[in-house]
């Protein structure tokens, strides 16, 4: 079973995160530049629900009143601007358009701007340190549809960017790889189990136990297990877990090959997130060139750039 992605990944993205000056104040951010050369792995689909709702740039800021974006969709809350003008139906219509566009192009990855009442997932305001009423309207739709969601602000951190990239690769591979029988399901789990254990050890151990006791399966059962794997991969890791699993992977390699590498530092060694990300990438590439894969980064992109 090949553990390599060769096609570019389709990614929906909040337009203001793609460099377009479409925020309420006429500003924008170019977050994707942080990928560097890896940027060529993606095809981006920028969209702004608020612009599509006809609100224009610049515009009076909007907010959710009386609940969250999910409450808006259920008719329990409203969207208004600072002057009190109600814009609920306009924004819902625009968000539905965005969602249908994403689904029509088979896009299930979205990079969002946190703090937006439209696209935000865990915050819908940037005022002070308040959370607002998360998720936003589009954010609620994407959560319900099971999208792989990336906070664009995280792309500015080298280690978070590495975590996003390796989980993205694993998510796409797990979602699209053929699984027709129990043996193929086992092979997929074998490829991804170390990554899953790092991300959520309790859920991964539970899933592993279920799979070990699995008898003959129907297609519906297989897809249910696939979904469990995808749900784990959506979860971001932490710095401490990334460092711990880097050392576990390296220790296994060192024992198996009998070779010491100077590209990996001790877990207790202090280094910046940039240096840590470089260690991970170097070890990834070395193992790939030797015909192996890093247990916590099992799927590699090797398509055309």
Per DSSP, the residues of 158-213 read HHHHHHHHHHHHHHHHHHHS---SHHHHHHHHHHHHHHHHHH-HHHHHHHHHHHHT
Q: Which helix (H) or strand (E) holds 46?
A: strand 42-47
81 in helix, strand or coil?
strand
Average of pLDDT values for 156-175? 98
Residue 128 is predicted with a pLDDT of: 56
pLDDT above 70 as % of the chain: 97
CA gap 21, 192 in Å, rounded: 39
Contact 115, 123 (CB under 8 A): yes
The Cα 299–Cα 172 span in angstroms is 9
Mean pLDDT taken over the chain: 94
Query: How big is the CA angle at 235 (ends 232 and 237), to the nearest 5 degrees?
Result: 115
Query: What pLDDT, in 10s, does the model give residues 278-305?
Result: 999 999 999 999 998 999 999 999 876 5
In the block, tokens 């979602």 appear at 175
Contact 137, 73 (CB under 8 A): yes
3-state class of 88 per DSSP? helix
Residues 164 and 173: their CA atoms lie apart, in Å, by 14
Closest to 210 (Cα-Cα) out of 199, 194, 221, 198:
221
- Residue 159 CB coordination number (10 Å): 20
Query: Closest Cα to residue 119, out of 175, 165, 52?
Result: 52
pLDDT of residue 129: 56
- The answer on pLDDT for 130 being more than 80 is no
How far is it, in rounded angstroms, from Cα 97 to Cα 100? 5
pLDDT class for 183, splitting at 50, 70, 90? very high
Give pLDDT, residue 145.
96
Instruction: Of 93-107, 124-138, 149-163, 172-186, give the lowest mean pLDDT range.
Output: 124-138
Q: Provide the residue ranges of all domains of the chain, joining segments of one domain with +.
A: 4-155, 239-301
Give the pLDDT score at 220. Answer: 81
Does residue 247 carry a pLDDT above 70?
Answer: yes
């Amino acid at each position: 079973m090949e553990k390599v992605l060769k096609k570019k990944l389709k990614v929906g993205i909040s337009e203001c995160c793609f460099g377009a000056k479409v925020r309420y104040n006429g500003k924008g951010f170019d977050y994707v530049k942080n990928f560097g050369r890896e940027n060529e792995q993606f095809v981006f689909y920028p969209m702004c629900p608020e612009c599509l709702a006809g609100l224009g740039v610049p515009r009076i800021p909007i907010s959710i009143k009386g609940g969250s974006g999910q409450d808006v969709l259920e008719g329990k809350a409203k969207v208004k601007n600072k002057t009190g003008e109600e814009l609920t139906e306009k924004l819902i219509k625009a968000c539905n358009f965005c969602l249908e566009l994403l689904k029509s192009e088979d896009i299930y990855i979205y990079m969002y701007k946190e703090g937006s009442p439209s696209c935000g997932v865990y915050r819908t305001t940037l005022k002070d340190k308040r959370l607002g009423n998360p998720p936003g309207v589009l954010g609620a739709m994407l959560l319900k549809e099971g999208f792989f969601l990336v906070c664009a602000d995280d792309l500015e951190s080298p280690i978070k960017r590495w975590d996003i990239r390796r989980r993205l690769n694993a998510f796409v591979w797990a979602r699209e790889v053929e699984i027709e029988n129990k043996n193929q399901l086992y092979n997929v789990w074998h490829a991804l189990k170390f990554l899953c254990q790092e991300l959520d050890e309790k859920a991964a151990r539970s899933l592993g136990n279920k799979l070990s006791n699995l008898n003959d399966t129907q297609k519906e059962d297989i897809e249910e297990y696939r979904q469990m794997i995808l749900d784990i991969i959506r979860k971001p890791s932490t710095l401490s877990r990334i460092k711990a699993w880097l050392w576990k992977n390296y220790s296994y390699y060192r024992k198996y090959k009998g070779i010491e590498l100077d590209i990996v530092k001790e877990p207790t060694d202090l280094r910046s997130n940039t240096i840590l990300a470089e260690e991970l990438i170097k070890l990834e590439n070395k193992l790939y060139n030797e015909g192996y894969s890093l247990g916590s980064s099992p799927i590699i992109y090797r398509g055309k750039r």
